[in-house]
């Protein structure tokens, strides 16, 4: 039943008018015969579909709480944080512009837009699945046909038997030759034979007039003096690197530019890395919200927009820490597609030195 995939959204709203979010795992949505989620049923079911639940909201507060549960149930991956921030902002704008009324129709329009996106993704998945299956079937058929043709030709024409016999004969001769050559006495075997007969092998050093002096080993040689340069004496800044954050391209009018940035958080003490990284979910959420605001109305990408976002986020993060250890934040555009942080939040290694200059 649909009630199994939709969590309990309302708790005595007629009495208290309060929405309680159910602490449940990702729901098991109903499936189509093709094996994908039946998004039409998820959203449009007249009894327990998401849209029918939204229609029951009596106040703006209940509508927002209900919509946030739906959004959190639909966008559960780590990479969905930006979409959650965008939808939350869009929902808050709808409520602010409603003039005190309950904007149920506008919220339903948002849900139907999400439904259309999910249906398009499901169709693309099915098309890709069918394409891979056809390719696999063609390869299997081609391999089977080649094997059958080879067997057919082998038995149809006697000359192929003759050719196969010649190949096997050459291989047999090669094996026999390798065994015979392998039995030839080597120099080591001759030395052992002479030693058994009482003959001492000739010492090549006795034939020379003088024995060369032993060269000093590398360990005995003195090491060159180290003179530190100005660059060596400068201490590298202590910085934390976060995983890539996707830029909100769908919000603004600009179409060309980078797709993501790599945040660097400069701190005063390396011992504060763990304290900062414990705030990673809050840091990621703050960056997504601030980027959504900054890129909403721009028409041309500008790195100064990133610098402005970094300046605003720094004090916000410091307010969450016991001590303000963050000196600045830098949102770097990756120089190389192979530059990937080793973890979600970690101390920047020497690999990222080119970003810290």
Note the CATH number of domain 233-355: 3.30.479
- Separation between Cα atoms, residue 344 and residue 277, nearest integer Å: 9
pLDDT at 186: 54
Burial of 276 (0-12, 13-18, 19+ CB in 10 A): buried
The residues pairing with 245 across neighbouring beta strands, listed in sequence order, are 261
The residues pairing with 345 across neighbouring beta strands, listed in sequence order, are 242
Q: Distance from CA of residue 143 to its chain's centroid?
A: 35
How big is the chain by its Cα radius of gyration, in Å? 36
What are the boundaries of each domain within the chain?
2-124, 233-355
Q: Which H, E and C letters describe 331-343, residue by residue?
A: EECCCCCCCCCCC
pLDDT tens series, the chain, 357 aa: 444 444 444 433 333 333 333 444 456 788 888 888 899 988 988 887 888 888 888 888 888 888 888 888 888 887 778 788 888 888 888 888 888 788 888 888 888 888 888 888 888 888 888 888 888 888 877 777 777 676 666 666 666 667 777 888 888 888 888 887 765 555 555 555 555 555 555 554 545 445 555 555 555 555 555 455 544 445 567 899 998 888 776 544 555 667 788 999 999 888 888 889 988 888 988 888 888 888 776 777 778 888 889 999 999 999 988 888 999 999 988 887 778 887 888 888 888 888 877
Assign residue 352 a region (left: φ > 0; alpha: ψ between -120 and 50; beta: otherwise): alpha
pLDDT at 16: 38
- Separation between Cα atoms, residue 37 and residue 53, nearest integer Å: 19
- Separation between Cα atoms, residue 309 and residue 86, nearest integer Å: 16
Query: Which helix H or strand E contains 107, and what residues bound it?
Result: helix 104-156
pTM: 0.41
Residues 280 and 341 sit within 8 Å (Cβ to Cβ): no
Residues 317 and 240 sit within 8 Å (Cβ to Cβ): no
Residues 264 and 302 sit within 8 Å (Cβ to Cβ): no
pLDDT at 110: 86
What are the C-alpha distances in Å from 216 to residues 205, 209, 211, 213, 290?
Answer: 19, 22, 15, 9, 65
pLDDT at 132: 87
- Separation between Cα atoms, residue 345 and residue 337, nearest integer Å: 19
- With a CB cutoff of 8 Å and minimum separation 6, the contacts of 301 are 254, 256, 257, 258
Residues 72 and 24 sit within 8 Å (Cβ to Cβ): no
The residues pairing with 265 across neighbouring beta strands, listed in sequence order, are 240, 329
Q: Count of alpha carbons within 13 Å of 271, Cβ hemisphere only? A: 1
Residues 54 and 43 sit within 8 Å (Cβ to Cβ): no
């Amino acid at each position: 039943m649909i009630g199994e995939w939709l969590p309990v959204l309302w708790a005595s709203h007629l009495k208290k008018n309060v929405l309680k979010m159910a602490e449940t795992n990702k729901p098991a949505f109903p499936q189509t015969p093709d094996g994908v989620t039946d998004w039409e049923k998820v959203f449009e079911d007249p009894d327990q579909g998401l849209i029918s639940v939204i229609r029951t909201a009596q106040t703006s507060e209940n509508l927002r709480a209900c919509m946030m549960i739906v959004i959190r149930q639909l966008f559960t991956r780590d990479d969905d944080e930006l979409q959650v921030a965008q939808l939350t902002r869009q929902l808050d704008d709808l409520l602010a512009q409603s003039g005190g009324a309950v904007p149920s129709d506008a919220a339903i329009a948002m849900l139907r837009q999400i439904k259309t996106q999910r249906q398009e993704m499901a169709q693309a998945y099915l098309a890709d699945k069918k394409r891979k299956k056809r390719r696999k079937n063609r390869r299997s058929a081609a391999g089977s046909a080649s094997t059958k043709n080879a067997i057919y030709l082998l038995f149809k024409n006697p000359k192929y038997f003759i050719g196969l016999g010649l190949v096997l004969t050459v291989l047999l001769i090669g094996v026999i030759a390798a065994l015979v050559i392998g039995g030839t006495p080597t120099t080591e075997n001759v030395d052992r034979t002479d030693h058994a007969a009482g003959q001492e092998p000739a010492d090549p050093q006795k034939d020379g007039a003088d024995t060369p002096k032993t060269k000093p080993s590398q360990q005995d040689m003195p090491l060159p003096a180290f003179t530190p340069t100005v660059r060596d004496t400068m201490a590298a800044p202590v910085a934390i690197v976060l995983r890539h954050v996707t830029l909100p391209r769908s919000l603004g009018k600009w179409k060309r530019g980078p797709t993501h940035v790599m945040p660097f958080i400069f701190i005063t003490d390396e011992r504060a890395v763990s304290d900062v990284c414990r705030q990673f979910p809050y840091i990621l959420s703050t960056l997504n919200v601030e980027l959504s605001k900054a890129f909403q109305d721009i028409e041309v990408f500008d790195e100064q927009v990133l610098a402005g976002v970094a300046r605003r986020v720094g004090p916000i993060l410091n307010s969450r820490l016991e001590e303000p250890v963050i000196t600045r934040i830098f949102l770097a555009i990756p120089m190389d597609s192979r530059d990937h942080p080793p973890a979600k939040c970690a101390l920047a290694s020497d690999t990222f030195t080119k970003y810290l200059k």
